A and B are shown apart, each in its own frame.
Chain A
Amino acid sequence: MDFQLSESQRALQEMARKFAREVIRPKAAHHDETSEFPRDIIASAWENGLLNMNIPESCGGLGLAHLDQLLAYEELAWGCSGMATSITANDLANLPIVVGATEEQKKRLLTPFTEKFKLAAFCLTEPEAGSDVANMSTTAVRDGDHYVLNGSKCFITNGGHADQYTVFATVDKARKHKGITCFVVEGRPKGLTPGKHENKMGQRASDTVTLTFEDVRVPVANRIGEEGEGFRIAMETLDNSRPITAIMSVGIARAALEYSLEYSSQRRTFGKPIREHQAIQFMLADMAMNTHAARLLCHESAWLLDQGQKNTLLSSYAKCFAADMAMKVATDAVQVYGGYGYIKEYPVEKLMRDAKLIQIYEGTSQVQRLVIAKELFK
């Protein structure tokens, strides 16, 4: 056991922290208020190597270990989880290629992301199939050396701005999850139409849209894995990405804790700073303790991946615990701020709205518990 970060891990963490503090944070409230897509900030993250951290070295990327990625993402989410979600959306969309594609496909589809600033979108969820992935109804019909995609996807992060889409569709709905297949759609071909930007409660800096596919033609060369392997690729992708989603909660919770520590030492009631009241101390102690526990779960689930071990159970522990924890910590931060916490001029109500999404996307807290129970019964 060694909990010490290496020198380069500390440098990476420090760099991401500086970027979050100097570039992301100052613009977080603006993009939350306007819901404008922070394209410049994300492009600047790309210039500094903070995008596409999972692209392998063989494709010109950094091929960072999962644990290293987590160190950076905690910092970015501390700055603004909405922007961090836009940034990690590339990783999520490119993961199916990393885990399931041939070497030729990896080079062709991933290398361009290291050469210029490009965004990608992961398209799995549908209006009638979120947690119930096997109920997917977007179809892919083979036509010579192409597949023709039809259907619609919803809640797609980066959907309106992406230059490449990783799409899951079924080649035969009767085969349930055994019919699901993964495709990569390059550019914005005819028939692929993003709907309006969703007006979300939180993480408003991230772009979330519905996408419709109308006779979108994808070359067979862009099919990742075999027909019917899509479900496995999607699940493996989510095992890989769950620690990253989970660590976003830790970033939010740490921000909430820091704001609460600061405010509670300035705000006075009954003749003393409120942090001298035991009830507030207990809240602060719980916030700190749970944030740290969640961070350790995230780190362990990423470490397992780096050891080449399966992390399904640990990554569900991490995602579920961290998301629920962040919601509680952010709510408590609003409580510590009292009336001011409920007002938008103060930074904590945003954290409460942002945290809520992590209990929902990339597997709800309920689905995580189902996964955990299933693993326990094995």
Chain B
Amino acid sequence: MKILVTAKRVEDPESKIKVKPDGSDIVKEGLKYKINPFDEIGVEEALRLVAKHGGEVVVVSIGGKEVQEQLRHALAMGATRAVWVNHTGTLDQMGVAALLQKVADKEKPDLVVLGKQSIDDDQNQVGQYLAEYLGWGQATFASKVESLESEQEKSKSPALHVSADGKSVRVVREVDNGLATIECTLPAVVTTDLRLNLPRYASLPGIMKAKSKPIEELTPQKLGVDVTPKVQVLKMASPPARKAGIKVPDVATLVDKLRNEAKAL
């Protein structure tokens, strides 16, 4: 089977994010970047499926030249080849989904795997839009409970299970009150949740091999997509600073303050 996965370039979650004084954007200088952690989980799941069913994993990323770093990371983990949509301007979630739709039209994958959301914009929308644009089924928040993490349990009941005839995928989804299992006809769009798997390291030999794996360059023009954003960011601001807390000497004072000052009890 052929699986298309995404690799968005996002700010390293460990970096300190500050908003520019004019509120136009965040301060980008000195920031480190990495692959969106949910996308990394998607790459891992795709590699595991391909190891089981054969086929290839194609990784796609949208952005300037710098996103090649994230593509190489996915290639180093084991993806077969990469597609780079070279676009440096602003994009909204519809724009991203429209570009991915064209890439999917071109690649004709059996499955598209994306992170459930990216840790920068926190939208949680692209996978759903993409399924709509493609007219495919979607399974969001693919997950499994930790008790299923043992190798034995996992092979018995994987979160993503492609049917024997290769025509459908059964997905265990994380929903508000537990887990829900659904079945989608392939091709389909799946978005990953945190508990799906533990991504492998891009091993040193993998990093060396990734240097020679192909990256195909596309542009919105070549794909024939108008990506003019429909959503516009007006201003960014830091969250209001929290007032300094106090230390209470004992439980009685704590309860008293919760009841009489915070009115929380």
Contacts and interface: CB of A to CB of B under 8 A. Distances in A.
Tell me if chain B binds chain A: yes
A8 B211 contact: yes
Interface string A6-18: 0110111011001
Contacts of B76: 11, 15
Interface in A1-39: 7-8, 10-12, 14-15, 18-19
B73 interface: yes
Contacts of A15: 76, 201-204, 207
A365 to B, nearest CB: 32
A62 interface: yes
A49 B69 contact: no
Contacts of A211: none
Interface in A31-87: 47-50, 53, 62, 64, 72
B205 A7 contact: no
B82 to A, nearest CB: 13
Contacts of A14: 34
Contact of A12 (B34, B68, B204): B204
SS class, residues of chain A in contact with chain B:
helix
Interface string B1-40: 0000000000000000000000000000000001000000
Interface in A226-284: none
Nearest to A114: B205
B137 interface: no
B201 A62 contact: no
B258 interface: no
B72 interface: yes
Interface string B166-209: 00000000000000000000000000000000000111111110
A12 B211 CA distance: 12
A8 B207 contact: yes
A15 B34 CA distance: 11
A10 B204 contact: no
B72 A49 contact: no
Chain A interface size band reads 10 to 19
Contacts of A11: 69, 72-73, 76, 202, 207, 210
B69 A48 contact: no
Contact of A49 (B34, B203, B210, B211): B203
A49 B205 contact: yes
A15 B205 CA distance: 11
Interface string A277-313: 0000000000000000000000000000000000000
Contacts of B203: 15, 47-49
Contacts of A62: 204-205, 208
A14 B206 CA distance: 13
B201 A8 contact: no
Contacts of A10: 69
Contacts of B205: 49, 62
A7 B206 contact: no
B68 A7 contact: yes
Contacts of B201: 15, 18-19, 48
Nearest to B200: A48
A24 to B, nearest CB: 13
Nearest to B202: A15
A50 B202 CA distance: 11
Contacts of B72: 7-8, 11
A255 B34 CA distance: 22
Nearest to B14: A21
A20 B204 CA distance: 14
Contacts of A50: 204
A7 B202 CA distance: 14
Contacts of B208: 8, 62
- Of A10, A48, A50, A53, which is in contact with the most chain B CB atoms at under 10 Å from its CB? A48
Given A11-B76, A18-B201, A19-B201, A49 B206 contact: yes
A11 B32 CA distance: 12
Contacts of A8: 72, 207-208, 210-211
- Of B76, B206, B207, which is in contact with the most chain A CB atoms at under 10 Å from its CB? B207
Nearest to A11: B207
A49 B200 CA distance: 13
A42 B207 CA distance: 19
B200 to A, nearest CB: 9
A7 B205 CA distance: 15
Nearest to B211: A8
Interface in B72-94: 72-73, 76
A7 B204 contact: no
Nearest to A50: B204
B204 A49 contact: yes
A64 B211 CA distance: 14
- Of B68, B69, B205, B208, which is in contact with the most chain A CB atoms at under 10 Å from its CB? B208
Nearest to B76: A11
A53 B207 CA distance: 13
Nearest to B201: A48
Contacts of B210: 8, 11
B76 to A, nearest CB: 6
Interface in A310-358: none
Interface of A: 7-8, 10-12, 14-15, 18-19, 47-50, 53, 62, 64, 72
Given A7-B68, A11-B210, 14 more contacts: A7-B69, A8-B208, A8-B210, A10-B69, A11-B69, A11-B72, A11-B73, A11-B202, A14-B34, A15-B76, A62-B204, A62-B208, A64-B204, A72-B204
9 nearest CB pairs, A to B: A49-B204, A48-B203, A49-B203, A49-B205, A11-B207, A48-B201, A15-B202, A12-B207, A8-B211
24 contacts: A7-B68, A8-B207, A8-B210, A8-B211, A10-B69, A11-B72, A11-B202, A11-B207, A12-B204, A14-B34, A15-B202, A15-B204, A18-B201, A19-B201, A48-B201, A48-B203, A48-B204, A49-B204, A49-B206, A50-B204, A53-B204, A62-B204, A62-B208, A64-B204
